[in-house]
Amino acid sequence: MSTWFITRHPGARRWAEQQRLVIDRYCVHFDPAEVARGDTVIGSLPVHLAAAVCAAGARYVNLSLDLSAQARGKELSAEELTHYNPRLEEYTITAKAKHQNPHG
């Protein structure tokens, strides 16, 4: 069982290190096919990737932030990140049946 931390942001990685999280794999680009049952995946993934993590029998833990409008889209340092209430929240996400495009 491995713990993954998925982020392309150096500030988020540094924050995780400061929290002394035990991380086996840091990844900038994530392929959910590499996740094994029992793994833990931490990050801020798009919902379809988080659902794939859960479908594989792994845990998805979201790095949640309360970002201001001014902070969105900016590269934040670990210190700046702490101003936006960083927290780890576990989610279980299940994809429903695929929907057909109503416009085509």
pLDDT at residue 102, as a whole number = 67
Residue 3 to residue 6: CA distance in whole angstroms? 10
pLDDT at residue 73, as a whole number = 87
7 CA to centre of own chain: 7
pLDDT at residue 14, as a whole number = 96
pTM to 2 decimal places:
0.88
If the chain, 104 residues long, is cut into consecutive pieces of 10 residues, what is the mean pLDDT of each piece? 96 96 95 96 96 97 94 91 95 84 66
What is the H or E stretch that residue 10 is in?
A: helix 10-18
Strands (E), 1-104: 3-6, 25-27, 40-43, 59-64, 87-91
pLDDT at residue 98, as a whole number = 74
Task: Compute the CA torsion angle 27, 5, 50, 102 (nearest 10 deg).
Answer: -40
pLDDT at residue 51, as a whole number = 96
